[in-house]
Structure 1
Amino acid sequence: MAQRNPAQFPPPGASARRGWIDSDDGRVALHSPEFAADPHRAYREMRSKWGSLAPVELAPGIPATLVVGYSTALRVLNDPDRFPADPRAWQKDIPAECPVLPIMEWRPTASRNTGADFQRYREAITASIGAVDLHALHATVEKAAIPLINSFCETGAADLIGQYAFPLTFGLVNALLGCPAEIGQRVATGMAALVEGIDAEQGNQMISAAMLELVALKRTEPGNDITSELLRHPAALDEAEMVHQVAGHYGAGIEFQQNLIANTLLLILTDDRFGGSVLGGSLSTLDALDEVLFNDPPLANFLITYPRHPVLVDDVWLPAHQPVLVSMAACNNDPAIRAENRTGNRSHLAWGIGGHACPARSLSYVIAQNAIDQLLDALPEMEPALPGGVPAWRPGPFHRALAELPVTFSPMARLNL
């Protein structure tokens, strides 16, 4: 356990403070519904009590250290030699039924490797994403968005996640990967289980089986899509490597892309600073997206590393091989670096930094911005209809994800395709 001394970081079995977010051994339980309901309060309490590094629990009995200080996060993320992303030493002692193991375990991908393997995977995935025509993507988003809006615009009410953000991102990822909808549906179901830690291993198996079908299909019927580009890349990825590269696109492209869209829509619909300003044109949708990427990034706690050896950081000994996660949400709001007016500021950590920074950043911005603009142009008078007036957040140690986003509006005529 990372510790300054036993009085500051309690040993297993002890409880320094049995508060609303503490697990039985005094660690902050990131998997709890209480944490999901108000993580920013939790981050403030962590910073007040422990400084830049806080002891947390990712699942019952799974300890880790969460980085909540911006400068400390930069130090960790810019030091891959001492903080590699390879989890294999850690996972040797993790039980197979652990709900976070499927999302954290080693895979043949850039995000789980270092050295030559990292470089090989990174080049392949970056090249395949770079082949996407971002200009044509604008029209692709519009083509996907209009039928979805037409499916509820005449009713006067909708859940913007179940009826818009999810099916939109699902369809777009299928299109970008050249994946038939039936295969993609199984991947989406498995990915949700993986992220939430509920039936995670079953979700993992569902994803692998579906991806095997897609890779086999693209070997015989290549097209102008990311999967085919990966197969054509000089890295010569084998079957298992291909499965994991493509599955990674689904993880970011569905689960986290839909959360970025939904969290930004929530901000625009509920925050007076943004609602009228975005609709009136004085602030852009891009400004709202960056505000969310600062405050409520869809991947709130991740960028996981595993120290090769015990290492002293900010007067805290981090043990070898135990996970060190960066809280992008907490670090972005570190009082040491936070500015009051951040319009146009994109210095947040939501995309990561360094070699492991998200290679699909431009792609994600285009999809989210166009999806939100299409909806607001069609239904500018939407009002949130949150039960009790408070958003419900899905529990989970890694994501920041709404359970639903219900809205009401005056029924509108269907849009022309």
Structure 2
Amino acid sequence: MTSPHQPEEWGLPRSSEAESPGKLPPQQGAAPPPGCPAHSAVPPQQAMAYPQARPDAHQPVKLYGPEFAADPARSYAQLRQYGALAPVEIAPDVTAMLVTDYRAALDLLHDDTTWSKDSREWMQTIPADSPILPMLGWRPNVFYSDGPAHVRYRDVIVDSFKLVEPHELRARVHHAADTLIQRFGARGEVDLIADYARLIPLLMFNNLFGLPDSYSDRLIEALAGMIEGTSPEEAAAANEAYTAYIMELVGSKKAQRGADLTSWFMDHPNGLSDEELIHNIILVMGAGNEPLANLIGNSLSRMLSDDRYYNTLTGGALTPQDAINEVLWNDPPLTNYSAHFPVRDVFFHGTWVRRGQLVMVSYAAANSQFDTSSLEVPGSGGGSHLSWSAGPHACPVKRHALLIATTAIERLTAWLSDIELAVPASELEWRHGAFHRALVALPARFSPITPDQAGATPWHNRDSSPTSSTRSEAISTERQPASAR
């Protein structure tokens, strides 16, 4: 499932230095650094590992709130002062270590012997009602499993998505995009986040998992309530609606199989139990929805605010593929994630980390830290971004995600060729949160289109695409040259 432009091994040669990452330093009998939390009496839920060079640094950097959302690069620059790992707070009273160094990130992501994905022990150290649990709480799925269990789940997902032909997937995106454009086309204005980018993945997954379009609004309303709900009651109601949707989906496919992901998950020779089936469907929908929506939204924002792409959408040197590539390098839709937990106290890139402590990878910080002049990655054209993660837990369906995002943007810009931002780019606001890089809204305007106007419209000729202003090429995952950034 790797791109022809990106090798499966995204990393660099392992360090041959004496203090190799993931292992104890050579002087194994020596005492740890003074105040080392890995060997202190501090309770696990309060323990935080700090670099040896900064034993007096006790204030984690917050990765949430308006200040971080407005300028995450400033926070990453502050975090690099600690070294390859830095202390962060990802929610009130929930701390972690964040990997900000490219080489260290690769060492962690490729080492599934030292680092586990199982969060159950860590979950006992935080409040049961912590808002962070939906993102990090253990479930029997591909995200939170190790070893044979992880391979078993991953094979089900990879093998099932292989059955989705690219031309069929593109046609499904066209149908979803046209359905949404029909809703706002006559208005001449749109919030490209709420009315397009956030809805495209939900329409796609409702269809790919085997339910008719009439169910899509239920999925959209349920997940929107979970993301945007402002009270525990709203969140609980949305969660109940989402659970009902999933149970009805599984029940319908148990009664009658189809050419869809749910049926293929069920019939895979790895034999998922009902619990495993449900949790892996929930995982694929969740992991595919938010990052994909953010990728589409961030890419549209870049295109509409940068003259290198378009003065109007009928001209310009760069394309949606270029915008997506730049976003994956500079504004990853999933900025900080890859939660890992060391299986023992470990000395990692200059920092002691306690067994079971939460360590996350900052794709955004690692990408921006990467220096092509000092690193050599054979066959990679100067390096590969980490926005799909790397190693055994790298995104298993990145080709599908790229195809959906590219096609959705091309379809929109083909029908609405004069679309432009309705506010200055400097006024766009970013959502708060430690994990995602996502716009609150992306208001745009365009010449209205109607079903009775002359020529092709989204309301008819669904089998023939309008003439796109973009070239049809494979998506490059290589880093853009400095002249293009």
Q: Tell me if both proteins adopt one fold, taking TM over 0.5 as the criterion.
A: yes
Q: CA deviation at 1:386?
A: 3.2
**Pairs within 5 Å for 1:42-191:** 42-47=75-80, 49-179=81-211, 180-181=215-216, 183-185=218-220, 187-189=222-224, 191=226
- AA aligned opposite 2:328: L
Instruction: Name which of 413, 427, 438 aligns with 1:390.
Output: 427
Counterparts of 2:276 and 2:203, CA distance in 1 = 24
1:35 aligns with 2:35: no
Counterparts of 1:241 and 1:309, CA distance in 2 = 28
Bigger proportion of residues as helix: 1
Counterparts of 1:328 and 1:247, CA distance in 2 = 24
Q: Which residue matches 1:269?
A: 304
Counterparts of 1:284 and 1:325, CA distance in 2 = 32
**Pairs within 5 Å for 1:16-415:** 26-47=59-80, 49-179=81-211, 180-181=215-216, 183-185=218-220, 187-189=222-224, 191-192=226-227, 206-276=241-311, 279-280=314-315, 282-337=317-372, 347-386=384-423, 389-414=426-451, 415=457
Counterparts of 1:320 and 1:182, CA distance in 2 = 44
Counterparts of 1:197 and 1:61, CA distance in 2 = 19
**Contact 2:51–2:350 (Cα < 8 Å) also in 1:** yes
Counterparts of 2:385 and 2:189, CA distance in 1 = 34
Counterparts of 1:280 and 1:350, CA distance in 2 = 29
Q: Once structures 1 and 2 are overlaid, which stretch shifts more, 249-258 or 264-273?
A: 249-258
Q: CA deviation at 1:168?
A: 2.1
Q: CA deviation at 1:64?
A: 0.3
Q: CA deviation at 1:383?
A: 1.8
Q: CA deviation at 1:212?
A: 2.2
Counterparts of 1:197 and 1:123, CA distance in 2 = 36
Q: CA deviation at 1:206?
A: 4.8
- AA aligned opposite 1:43: Y
**Contact 2:307–2:316 (Cα < 8 Å) also in 1:** no
Q: Deviations over 1:335-392 (max 9, x none)?
A: 53489xxx98771111111111111111111110010001111222222123784211
**Contact 2:310–2:317 (Cα < 8 Å) also in 1:** no
> Alignment partner of 2:360: what SS?
strand
Counterparts of 1:201 and 1:314, CA distance in 2 = 42
Q: CA deviation at 1:315?
A: 1.2
**Contact 2:64–2:434 (Cα < 8 Å) also in 1:** yes
In structure 2, the CA distance between the partners of 1:271 and 1:280, relative to structure 1 (3 Å rule), is same
**Contact 1:65–1:324 (Cα < 8 Å) also in 2:** yes
Counterparts of 1:198 and 1:114, CA distance in 2 = 35
> Alignment partner of 2:369: what SS?
coil
Counterparts of 1:400 and 1:265, CA distance in 2 = 14
> Alignment partner of 2:196: what SS?
helix
**Contact 2:295–2:324 (Cα < 8 Å) also in 1:** yes
**Contact 1:392–1:402 (Cα < 8 Å) also in 2:** yes
Counterparts of 1:206 and 1:325, CA distance in 2 = 31
**Contact 1:295–1:332 (Cα < 8 Å) also in 2:** yes
- AA aligned opposite 2:98: L
**Contact 2:266–2:272 (Cα < 8 Å) also in 1:** yes
Counterparts of 1:7 and 1:92, CA distance in 2 = 29
Q: CA deviation at 1:142?
A: 1.1
- AA aligned opposite 2:392: G
**Contact 1:63–1:322 (Cα < 8 Å) also in 2:** no
> Alignment partner of 1:58: what SS?
strand
Structure 2: which 5+ residue stretches go unaligned?
1-47, 375-379, 452-456, 461-485
Q: Deviations over 1:248-282 (max 9, x none)?
A: 12112322211110000000011223335985363
TM value normalised by structure 2: 0.76
Greater radius of gyration (CA): 2
Counterparts of 1:241 and 1:190, CA distance in 2 = 24
> Alignment partner of 2:153: what SS?
helix
In structure 2, the CA distance between the partners of 1:201 and 1:219, relative to structure 1 (3 Å rule), is same
Q: Deviations over 1:206-260 (max 9, x none)?
A: 5444322221221112211111100001121111111111111211232221111
> Alignment partner of 1:317: what SS?
strand
Kindly report the root-mean-square deviation, in angstroms, between the aligned alpha carbons of the 2 structures.
2.6
**Contact 2:119–2:341 (Cα < 8 Å) also in 1:** yes
Q: Deviations over 1:77-117 (max 9, x none)?
A: 01111111111111112211100012101111111010121
In structure 2, the CA distance between the partners of 1:156 and 1:202, relative to structure 1 (3 Å rule), is closer
In structure 2, the CA distance between the partners of 1:201 and 1:329, relative to structure 1 (3 Å rule), is farther
In structure 2, the CA distance between the partners of 1:198 and 1:328, relative to structure 1 (3 Å rule), is farther
Q: Once structures 1 and 2 are overlaid, which stretch shifts more, 1-10 or 260-269?
A: 1-10
In structure 2, the CA distance between the partners of 1:190 and 1:209, relative to structure 1 (3 Å rule), is farther
Q: CA deviation at 1:166?
A: 2.1
Q: Deviations over 1:105-135 (max 9, x none)?
A: 1111111010121111111111111111111
